[in-house]
Amino acid sequence: MVDHGSVGTSELRAMQQLAQAVWAADPAMMNTGASVGELAWWWGAGSVLHATEWRHRLWFDGDRIAAWGWISAAEMIRVADDRWELSATSLVWQVHPDHPELLDEVLEWFDDEAGGANRCTTARAADRGAIERLGRHGYVLDPGAPWSQLNRRPLRELEAPVLPAGFRLRTAVEVDPAAAVAVERAAWHPSRFTLESLLNVRSTWPYHDDLAVFVGAPDGTLVASALVWYDEINRTAELEPVGTDPGYRRQGLGRAVSLFGLHQALDIGATDAVVSCRGDENYPVPRRLYGSIGFGELTRDVVFAK
């Protein structure tokens, strides 16, 4: 029932298959960090730097994945636009709706692996069973912690992207990889994203060049980007991540590049779009951006600490 080892492509695909199954059963039970696109991005972009620090475990029911947990060591996280803090050791997890009891095993494993370190994890607000289990394992609500919300919109009546004069929308096939790395590093400064990181992302399912989109400035410099991951089973397009060079913000570029990416996904069959972002008021800009293009809250996190 249990597999324990390093996260490779086969393990990642199993985790993404669970994401697809959970979404099909009840999208409100999709945990933060556990979606198809978040898993692809975090594994692809982060494995260069963090693979030796990550710990994970997968639980199977026969040949079907039933649950998984992914532990990350403490790291500096953005808690406000201009403030970073050291996180606790964190757990991202997902269980299949048919096996809610496996969360007990995931939490016991997390406690064993984390030892005496401060720990944090989340559950969706609608997942009353998970919230009760977390309480039984000694986890308490952390109301002051940053939290995320999952946003959703249908792709019918999707407006066209609009750019300032001289700016241009482009896809990955039209841009130099080094330029794609540069805009990522500028948007998420300080960033250790490298060409190797980019190549890992591009080799991770379900990456597609037509869904990696950019805004070019009049001088040709890439100044905004968005990556869309398409789940063809659920016909869902997921934005992860979206970023704009700080020198070009407040011009509608993040909005335009997001809409362009969603149109690209619509063209290949997507009917629905999702994006996760911070929900608390300490970092409201992404939530406002996605609200401006028609996303509304589907569900939100409850943060727990121990």
Given this model, what pLDDT does residue 7 score?
Answer: 66
Residue 35 belongs to a domain: yes
Whether 35 and 80 map to the same domain: the answer is yes
Whether 24 and 127 map to the same domain: the answer is yes
Residue where one domain finishes, among candidates 147, 181, 201: 147
Q: What are phi and psi of 114, to 5 degrees?
A: -80, -20
pTM confidence score: 0.93
CATH of the domain at 175: 3.40.630.30
Whether 138 and 164 map to the same domain: the answer is no
Task: For 121-150, write each residue's pLDDT tens digit.
Answer: 999 999 999 999 999 999 999 999 999 999
Whether 139 and 161 map to the same domain: the answer is no
Q: How far apart are CA 78 and CA 273, in angstroms?
A: 25
Judge contact between 240 and 39, C-beta under 8 A.
no
- Give, in degrees to the nearest 5, the angle at Cα 59 between 232 and 45: 55
Mean pLDDT of 111-128: 93
Given this model, what pLDDT does residue 87 score?
Answer: 64
Given this model, what pLDDT does residue 95 score?
Answer: 98
C-alpha pair distances (Å), 200 with each of 34, 43, 159, 220: 19, 8, 32, 25
Whether 14 and 90 map to the same domain: the answer is yes
Both structure tokens of 187: 């948007």
Whether 131 and 211 map to the same domain: the answer is no
Residue where one domain finishes, among candidates 147, 171, 199: 147
Domain count, the chain: 2
Whether 211 and 116 map to the same domain: the answer is no
Whether 110 and 216 map to the same domain: the answer is no
Whether 28 and 143 map to the same domain: the answer is yes
Task: For 143-201, write each residue's pLDDT tens digit.
Answer: 999 999 999 999 999 999 999 999 999 999 999 999 999 999 999 988 999 999 999 99
Whether 8 and 128 map to the same domain: the answer is yes
Residue 169 belongs to a domain: yes
Residue where one domain finishes, among candidates 147, 180, 200: 147
User: Domain range for residue 25?
Assistant: 2-147
Q: How far apart are CA 14 and CA 20, in angstroms?
A: 10
Answer yes or no: is pLDDT of 84 > 60: no
Task: For 244-298, write each residue's pLDDT tens digit.
Answer: 999 999 999 999 999 999 999 999 999 999 999 999 999 999 999 999 999 999 9
Sign of the torsion angle spanned by Cα atoms 37, 38, 43, 46: positive
Whether 14 and 48 map to the same domain: the answer is yes
Residue 278 belongs to a domain: no
- Return the percentage of the chain with pLDDT > 70, whole number: 93
- Whether the bond between 241 and the residue before it is cis, its omega within 30 degrees of 0, is yes
Given this model, what pLDDT does residue 267 score?
Answer: 97
| Distance from the first to the final alpha carbon of the chain | 27
Task: For 28-74, write each residue's pLDDT tens digit.
Answer: 999 999 999 999 999 999 887 777 788 999 999 998 999 999 998 86
Residue 92 belongs to a domain: yes
Whether 126 and 176 map to the same domain: the answer is no
